[in-house]
Amino acid sequence: MNADQRVQILQNIAEAIARRRLIAPARLALDAIAPLGFLASQVAVFVGPLVPLGRWHEYVAALDDERSWKELQNLIDYQDC
């Protein structure tokens, strides 16, 4: 997965969160995960082979990096504007 695909998937996740009006709970969850970003990314790497191919597999692949969690948090903050 290249960087553009990763950003597009993260944008899709942020837009879905905004459409469902879950920005505040998502912020709380991401703020709680922030100190454990490395651990969260490692969980995504571990779960990756267990997730069926398709949309969910893309989401897990996009979140397998600590920087992706921070990028998702920034995108959610942007959606709130």
Domain boundary assignment for the chain: 3-80
What DSSP letter does each residue of the chain carry, written as one string? --HHHHHHHHHHHHHHHHHTT-HHHHHHHHHHHGGGHHHHHHHHHHHGGGSPTTHHHHHHHHTSSHHHHHHHHHHHHHHH-
Per residue in 52-74, pLDDT (tens digit) is 888 888 888 888 888 898 999 99
pLDDT at site 13: 94
pTM of the complete model: 0.84
